[in-house]
Each structure stands twice: as C-alpha cells, then as structure tokens.
Chain A
Amino acid sequence: MTAAIEFRGVSRIYGELRAVDDVSFAVEPGEFFAMLGPSGSGKTTCLRLVAGFDTPNSGQVLLDGADVSSMPPYERNVNTVFQDYALFPHMTVLENVAYGPRVRGVAKSEREQRAREMLELVQLGAQGERRPAQLSGGQRQRVALARALINRPKVLLLDEPLGALDLKLREEMQIELKSLQKKLGITFVYVTHDQGEALSMADRVAVFNKGRIEQLAAPRELYLRPATPFVARFVGSANVADAALAQKLGFAAAFAIRAENIDVQAESAAAPPDSVVAPGAVVAVQFHGAASRWQVQLDAGEIWSALITEEETRRMNGLGVGTRVNLSWPREAAVPLSSASSG
C-alpha cells in the first residue's frame, strides 16, 4: 500500500538553524498520526512542508507516492486547519466553507449546498449567515474544520487546532475529531505540544526534538517503553537516570522510571523484596486531586517525583516537606534507554 505521506531524508534549514534535520517517516492511509514536540522542535515545519507552505532544502516529500517537494499548496490534495483558524473575516461562515469549491470553479448553488452539508456535519447548520467574528472559539474551530474538509482531501493537517480552547471544550473536541476521522476515513496529521492530546487521540505518535524524530511508535509503546531520555521526560513525565546516576543505583545503563511506579517510605521502613531503593529528602508535595506528586531530592543528585494516590498519602503520617525518605521501585519497572539523545 502506498503511504499517504512519506518523508525521505527531508531537511529544512533557515540560516544556521536546522529546523528539520534529515527526517524520514511514512504515514499510512487512514491513520491518525500525531507529531508531538516542544515549540521549535520541527513538527510545525514538517506540517508546512506537507501543506506546501515551505519547500525542503534537501530530501523529498511524497504524497500518495508522488514527489510534491516543489508543488505549490493550491495543487496539493491536502487541507489544513490552522492554529488561529485563519477564517476570512470579510466572508460569512457559509462563504468561508464554500471557498474551496468556489476557487475551483464549482457553481454557486452546488458549492453552497455542499457547504451547508459540511456545516451540518460539524453541527453548525444554523450559523451559515453569521460572520466569523460573531462566533465563539469552539464554533470557529468547527468552521475551520468544515472549510478544510469540503474539498474532500486525502490528508487533513491540523496545526495545534485545540490550543486556543478551554479545557472542557478541548476534551469534547478531541472526542469529536477522533470520531469524525473514523467516520470519514481521512488521514489526519495532528501537530501538538500536548502529550496527553497526542497519546489519547493518535494511532501513532512521532516525538520531535531539535529537528529530528526521537521515537515513532503507538501511544502505549511510547509511554511504556520510551527509547530516549527526552521521550521519557516529555511523554511520560518520567524520572530519568543518566549513565552516572544509574551506576550509583546499581544499573548498567541509563534508564527511566515513571512517577507512578515509585513508592515513598519512611527511612526506617524495610524495602520491599527485589526493589531498588534511593534515599533523599522531600522538597515539595503537590496536590493533584486523586494523587499527589512528591518531589524528592535524591542524595545521589537529581530531584525525582513520585505519584502517590490520595489514599496512600493519608497513610504516610509524619512524612512531609523536609523529612528524609526512601524512594523504592520494582527493579523490572525501570525502562532501559538508549543514550542517543541528551534530552
């Protein structure tokens, strides 16, 4: 099967900055593909290379098997939902949605019919005559989605589409986007810096750092078996022991351990069998509702965090900020890391 999108050794360099550095990957047709990374990691540049707003300095971008590296955006069968929605302020909602067919020469009655169908699809059937400025953020988001989908693209690109929405609306839209993608069967490429969003929606996630892909894997794999210190920290908020720290704790190589796998005990308590113990002092206890995050300064160096359920926290009488504790975790819970990246 031909990949919907394929990058072959793509680089995009701005002056000194290697925004995208020799990146290769393929997106399967119908896949929900997330590009995750901090700002400046190259994920948005990759999106722009797919859309055609930018051209690579070297390498090839393929859509459906055809090299489109230097094809202008208006000839590519992909559409974009922009971070700021980019709705045309001088057009009504209906005119915005009908814009794609309009510039492709579709007759007025037909394109308005199609636009109305798209607005129904995103549950905005009644808002067609309004201007974008009269809509709420969530409604504008849906208009942008309808406008991008009306051309029936092979690939839909979404650039941090939910970034401007509040938490509740964001969670609703996540569910909606996912079910819309299933229903339409269109390939989605979703750029985000929110690891929770990427993990909960995507079939596969590419984690970007400094212009390169650190790891490309399914969400569960990414979370349970991060390949590099960067992925462990960024995706799982895990504690990372570099080679030196690992040695002090009796490990051969660098490893990651997720906060929820660590237990906090009084210094005097006996360690559970077959577990690793690291002594330290509590520097902060952050209440998060169902769980609390205990930040502990290890005697061996770094500050690590342990996620303790509320029930357990209540049982830890006498322990708190400033007291000495032991962190312990089952030996097999440690995930070995390749030291390819410094994180």
Chain B
Amino acid sequence: MRAASTFFWRRPYWYLALLLVPPLLWFGTVYLGSLFALLAQSFYAIDDFTAQIVREPTLATYKQLVTQPANVDIVLRTLTMAITVTIACAVIALPIATYMARYASGRIKAFFYVGVMLPMWTSYLVKVYAWRLLLAKEGIIAWFLGKLGLTGLLEALLATPGVGGPSLSSSYIGMFLVFVYMWLPFMILPMAAALERVPGSLLQASADLGAKPSQTFRNVVLPLAVPGIAAGSVFTFSLTLGDYIIPSVVGAPGYFIGMMVYVQQGTAGNIPLAAAFSVVPILLIFIYLSIAKRFGAFDAI
C-alpha cells in the first residue's frame, strides 16, 4: 500500500492517467463512439427495392433529405418551433431570474429555486399527458376562458392559419405552450447563475454615474446576463429540436425532426435517413453557437 502511494507520488502523470483512463474510455468509446457510429450510418443509403442498407459511402441519403419538400418542411417546422420557444423562454425567464438572483434572499430565494426545479422531479411523460388534458377542447383552460367570457378570443386564436387547429391540444399553439413550460427551468437556472455572478458594485457604479434603473438594466445587467441567456438558449433550442414526445402527444399532426428519427429507425427501418435527420440538429446548434459567438455572447465569461 505504502509502496504504491510512493510510486504514484513520484510519478504524478501515472496517477493522473489512472484517474482519467476509465472515464475517458467510457466517453470515447461508449459515448462519442456510438454517436459517430450513428453519424457514419447517414453516409449509407437504403436500397428502395430490397429495403436493405447498402454499406457504401454515398450522399444519396442527404440528397433525399434536402430535396424532398416534405423533409425540408419538417426541418423548417422544427427550427421555427425551436426559435420561438427559445425566445419565449428567454423573455419569461429574464424577470424571474433577475428577481431570484438580485432581489430575493433567504427563504424566498430558496422557494423560487425549488419552485423552478420542482416540475423536473415529476415524470416528463406524465406532464405531457397532463398538458394534453389541460389543453383539450373540453379541458380546464377552455373552460376557464369560457368563464371569463373569452371563448371568442380562444376561437379567434385557434382560427389563425398555420398555427391554429380544432383545439389547443391539437394545434401548434398548444404544442408551443407545452414546450415553453417544459424547458423554462433550463433557461431560468443558467440565467440566474449568470446574474448572481454580477457584482453588486457594478450596478451601484452604473447608478453612481447617472444611469436610471432602466439604463442600468439595459447597459449592464442585460449584457452580463448574455452568457446565461446563451447557455439557457442552447438547452431550450436543442431540447426542442430533438424532442419527439411532445409533438406526438400534443399538437397538429405535422412531423418534427425527433419524430422522424424515431419513425425512420423504428417502423420504417431506414436507419441512414434517421441518422441524416439526427445530424440536422447538430448542425443547427453549431450554426447557432457560431452566431452567438460572433455577437460576443461568450466574451464576458
């Protein structure tokens, strides 16, 4: 035992290697390895007659993805949903996170943190199905709006072409509400963490130099919250891009990327197309991060 301790004490690199090899093996083979195995599949194609995978490198599957209008629609639909959900989450989260990080203290602060995380302790499926009931035609939301005499408003909303539908639970509006509900904590928490790191003296300095509270918020608080917003938006954006349960339980019948991956690799047995579809969110996130970087989202970290 003592000899072993001395051995590693004298050779710190051996110690480091011993510490790092098991997790790196896991990360490299099990995690990244399977991901690359999946991505490699996207360069194969399926033989239309035999429904067998042809194991020869080809871009045919990608060609199919970008040329078939139905597939392009799926990508655009998912992308639009991800962007709107991200914006809505950011807008709702900012005041809450600001309050949590800068004003609340003690019990109120603990209450808010628990309150934000509490929904995550419940099964995701239960929440999605619960939302379907809440949003249903005879559901509590429609009933409540009826009591308020706002049925007309709801009907006008549902009559909106493109995003409307027969009821909230079978429209893109309903799907949007569920997405925002599900991913809001993932926006609030990084944003609050970013705002907590802003020293109070910066806000005092801003006021001291003559900035009204609204100017301090715009010039100091918001720019310093940007890394938090960027981190949170990566979560909300990628979670929406990849999700297949919410679009299949709530909302209009149009396919989303996640559903397409699920259907193609399962029922249809077209693993190359499923793999090609799963490359799309990766690419979109990559583009999103490049844009965020260009706008200086990570400068102040």
Which A residues lie at the B interface, using CB under 8 A? 51-53, 72-74, 78-80, 82-84, 86-90, 99-100, 102-104, 147-148, 151
Contacts and interface: CB of A to CB of B under 8 A. Distances in A.
A103 B208 contact: no
A104 B210 contact: yes
A86 B202 CA distance: 5
Contact of A73 (B202, B204, B219, B296): B204
A83 B204 CA distance: 12
A90 B199 contact: no
A147 B204 contact: no
Contacts of A99: 206, 209, 211, 219
B223 to A, nearest CB: 5
Given A74-B209, A147-B205, 9 more contacts: A79-B208, A80-B205, A84-B201, A86-B199, A88-B202, A89-B224, A90-B223, A103-B210, A104-B210
Interface of B: 199, 201-202, 204-212, 215, 219-220, 223-224, 296, 299-300
A104 B42 CA distance: 58
Contact of A103 (B201, B215, B299, B300): B215
Contact of B201 (A79, A86, A147): A86
A298 to B, nearest CB: 46
A53 B204 contact: yes
Contacts of A72: 207
B201 A100 contact: no
Contacts of B299: 90
Contacts of B296: 90
Given A82-B201, A103-B215, A88 B220 contact: yes
A89 B227 CA distance: 13
Contacts of B212: 74, 103
Given A89-B300, A90-B223, A90-B224, A51 B202 contact: no
Contacts of A148: 208-209
A23 to B, nearest CB: 21
Contacts of A87: 205
A78 B207 CA distance: 11
A151 B209 contact: yes
Contact of B211 (A52, A74, A90): A74
B248 to A, nearest CB: 42
30 contacts: A52-B208, A53-B204, A53-B207, A53-B208, A72-B207, A73-B207, A73-B208, A74-B207, A74-B208, A74-B209, A74-B211, A78-B208, A79-B208, A79-B209, A80-B204, A82-B201, A82-B204, A84-B199, A84-B201, A87-B205, A88-B205, A88-B206, A90-B296, A99-B211, A100-B210, A102-B219, A103-B206, A103-B210, A147-B209, A151-B209
